[in-house]
Amino acid sequence: MASARSPSALLGTFRAASHRPATAWRQRCSYHSQEYTQPPPFPPAESAILTSALSHVPSYGFTADALRLGARDAGYMDVSTNLLPRGVFDLINYHLVTQRLALKSTVQFPSTGDQGKKLGTGAKVRTLTLARLRANEPLIHRWQEALAIMAQPSYASTSLAELARLADEIWYLAGDESVDSSWYTKRASLSAIYSATEVFMTQDKSKNFIETEQFLDSRLGDVMKMGGFIGALSEWADYTAHSAVNVLRSKGMRV
Amino acid sequence: MNAQSARVLFRRQLLAGGRPRAGAGAAERGQYRCLSCTARQLQQQQTPPKRDGTTHFGFETVAEALKEQKVRGVFSSVASSYDTMNDLMSMGIHRLWKDHFVRNLNPGRNPLTSGPSEQKGWNILDIAGGTGDIAFRMLDHASTINHDAHTKVTVADINPEMLAEGRKRALETPYARSPRLNFIEANAEKLDMIPDNSIDLYTVAFGIRNFTHKEDAIREAYRVLKPGGVFAVLEFSKVNNGLFDAVYKRWSFSAIPLIGQLVAGDRDSYQYLVESIERFPSQPQFRDMIQDAGFLVPGQGWEDLTGGIAAIHKGVKPA
């Protein structure tokens, strides 16, 4: 009996031993970046120069002059702007990155909405997108310069990557947890809407950018309609294809 | 039977004499000036870094005290034909590199946009700039692009012949008699005549490769620069693309010494030139050397030109 029991006892100890590494492994796997403090996106000297340079943008625009004045304010010299290899584009990039990262702390959602019900993902996306657009407000009369620089061939890919990161950040903060192909379509459509609204905003003369807000709402509405239509269309196509295959099979065809 | 025993014997000989044979092979190879040079280069990389009194002069190892003299000798002999040779060797591209280097640094303080301030113009130190190539471009850029009539350039070179060539060329520019340009004979490792924290921009174009102690020169640059000042180096570097590198190596090791022999009548100096390019540290290594001296480097620390044949390295002294 003792000999018969020993294998199971052995197995038991083996299980007990293997249990701990398994949890450790699971803990190692479940890394979530939001649980850790991220390093600052720019080194201190660059941040100092760029932060003070941004304060000169409303009067000097996105130009080398704003950079030079920023460097002087930060205790550096004109020549120190060589620290920024891409010059003015680094200034724009700094604005884009810092404003994207600021969204996390500037927009807080209450656990329940005004009427006591929870805020939907769509509403959260709208709020976050508006908050990001409003962050351009102090520079909006100069923003076309920035858009022109971002569209230059050597910077276009970096700018598009930053746009994608912004769309991802907004969907993430809105609590989107999709893991299907809509992960891509959501980000793509939000990127398109955001960039269109941003361009619209540079021309908006209305009070408190009310027209920009309306423009954003109607674009988001379009996407909802389009999304619903495309969803229904793909469902219909899928059903039809399956039925066709099944009809062929019922006729004895080897499909 | 006979053949087999012979084969065994041969194999045994190989086993027994493997080591001395390999040594003899390396020594033999050492006598030749090889074109691909990887064998020789590997051999020399195994020797621990200098500081024990010797340094490299191209692929040769020489006493530290000798290198300075030898470099001086090289540039004395090439001073007169310097420009023609540069044009031939780089097919004129060196002018584009130098133009880009200067335009990128954007020297000069524009009086229209910078408003009144106590400091007028930049104080630029161009090391190893004997022939004035960089200096004249700096002054031209400052005057015509930034409307700055105060920026000064001090050209320092270890070689009096190169300085004489530069002075001669300065006569054809508007800066010959102006206080904006002056020439001094100096060793970049000991810039005693230049006070601490006095320079806005320190440049070396195609010079740092020839320095005996590069670290000392970088440290000296750190000393003379003002806080916020920029250290900028234009130098030959490592080509990134393997295929392009093969073509480039073939060109540099076979064509350049030949052009040197035909045009300047001096093969050895140009052989030294290509060998010293080969020995110069790669982009990340040189970036680390700049960082080790205390400089902040912009972005990745360098910018490749023409696929990495040359590279611009920059460092900013923290304020």
Closest to A80 (Cβ–Cβ): which among B109, B114, B316?
B316
Structure tokens at B279: 């020995």
**Interatomic CA distance for residues A99 and B102, integer angstroms:** 34
- The answer to whether residue A1 is domain-embedded is no
Could you list the residue range(s) of the whole structural domain that residue B76 is in?
Answer: 54-109+120-316
- The answer to whether residue B78 is domain-embedded is yes
- The pLDDT of residue B49 is above 70: no
C-alpha atoms less than 13 angstroms from C-alpha of B122 in its C-beta half-sphere: 32
Closest-CA distance of chain A to residue B102, Å: 12
- The answer to whether residue B103 is domain-embedded is yes
Q: For the sheet with B302-305, list strands across it.
A: B181-185, B152-157, B123-127, B199-205, B225-236, B310-316, B302-305
- The pLDDT of residue B261 is above 80: yes
**Interatomic CA distance for residues B230 and A79, integer angstroms:** 7
pLDDT of residue A22: 55
**Interatomic CA distance for residues B76 and B165, integer angstroms:** 10
Q: What is the DSSP letter of A108?
A: -
From chain A, pick out residues whose CB is under 8 angstroms from the CB of B303.
85
- The pLDDT of residue B281 is above 50: yes
pLDDT of residue B268: 86
Closest-CA distance of chain B to residue A72, Å: 10
- Cβ contact B296–A64 (<8 Å): no
- The answer to whether residue B32 is domain-embedded is no
Helix A121-134 to helix A210-250 angle (10° resolution) is 140
- The answer to whether residue A13 is domain-embedded is no
B106 with B146: CB under 8 angstroms? yes
Closest-CA distance of chain A to residue B16, Å: 52
Number of domains in chain B: 1
pLDDT of residue A159: 96
- Cβ contact A79–B229 (<8 Å): yes
Complex ipTM: 0.73
- The answer to whether residue A77 is domain-embedded is no
Helix (H, G, I), strand (E, B) or coil at A54: helix
Q: What is the DSSP letter of A152?
A: S
**Interatomic CA distance for residues B318 and B297, integer angstroms:** 10
- The pLDDT of residue B1 is above 60: no
Q: CB atoms < 10 A from the CB of A199, how many?
A: 13
- The answer to whether residue A197 is domain-embedded is yes
Q: CB atoms < 10 A from the CB of A47, how many?
A: 15
- The answer to whether residue B300 is domain-embedded is yes
**Interior CA angle at B107 toward B102 and B109, to 5°?**
160
- Cβ contact B316–A68 (<8 Å): no
Nearest to B153 by CA among B104, B93, B107: B107
Q: What CATH number is given to the structural domain containing A187?
A: 1.10.357
pLDDT in tens, B153-177: 999 998 888 899 899 899 999 998 8
pLDDT band at B195 (very low <50, low <70, confident <90, very high): very high
Nearest to A82 by CA among B96, B290, B135, B245: B290
DSSP letter for each residue of A185-242: HHHHHHHHHHHHHHHHHHH--SGGGHHHHHHHHHHHHHHHHHHHHHHHHHHHHHHHHH
Number of domains in chain A: 1
- The pLDDT of residue B70 is above 90: no
Binding-site residues of B: 131, 157, 187-188
- The answer to whether residue A43 is domain-embedded is no
Q: End-to-end distance of chain A based on CA atoms, in angstroms? A: 58
B155 with B163: CB under 8 angstroms? yes
Q: What CATH number is given to the structural domain containing B282?
A: 3.40.50.150
- Cβ contact A45–B109 (<8 Å): no
Q: In chain A, which residue's Cα lies nearest the Cα of B103?
A: A82
- The answer to whether residue B20 is domain-embedded is no
DSSP letter for each residue of B267-309: HHHHHHHHHHHHHSPPHHHHHHHHHHTT-B-STTSEEEEGGGT
- The answer to whether residue A29 is domain-embedded is no
pLDDT in tens, A189-215: 999 999 999 999 999 999 999 999 999
Q: Which amino acid is at B103?
A: R
E strand or H helix at A109:
none
Binding-site residues of B for S-adenosyl-L-methionine: 131, 157, 187-188
**Interatomic CA distance for residues B106 and B99, integer angstroms:** 11
**Interatomic CA distance for residues A98 and A42, integer angstroms:** 9
Which residue in this structure is represented by tokens 């070179």?
A: B157
Nearest to B102 by CA among B132, B129, B154, B139: B139
- The answer to whether residue B12 is domain-embedded is no
From chain A, pick out residues whose CB is under 8 angstroms from the CB of B200.
77-79
- The answer to whether residue B155 is domain-embedded is yes
Closest to B200 (Cβ–Cβ): which among A65, A77, A85?
A77
Q: What is the pLDDT along chain A (255 residues), one digit of tens a residue?
A: 444 444 444 444 444 444 555 555 555 667 877 778 888 889 999 999 999 999 999 999 999 999 999 999 999 998 999 999 999 999 999 999 999 999 999 888 876 656 666 788 889 999 999 999 999 999 999 999 999 999 999 999 999 999 999 999 999 999 988 888 889 989 999 999 999 999 999 999 999 999 999 999 999 999 888 888 888 898 999 999 999 999 999 999 888
- The answer to whether residue A78 is domain-embedded is no
Mean pLDDT of chain B: 82
Could you list the residue range(s) of the whole structural domain that residue A104 is in?
Answer: 85-248
Percent of chain B with pLDDT over 90: 46
Closest to A85 (Cβ–Cβ): which among B227, B229, B303?
B303
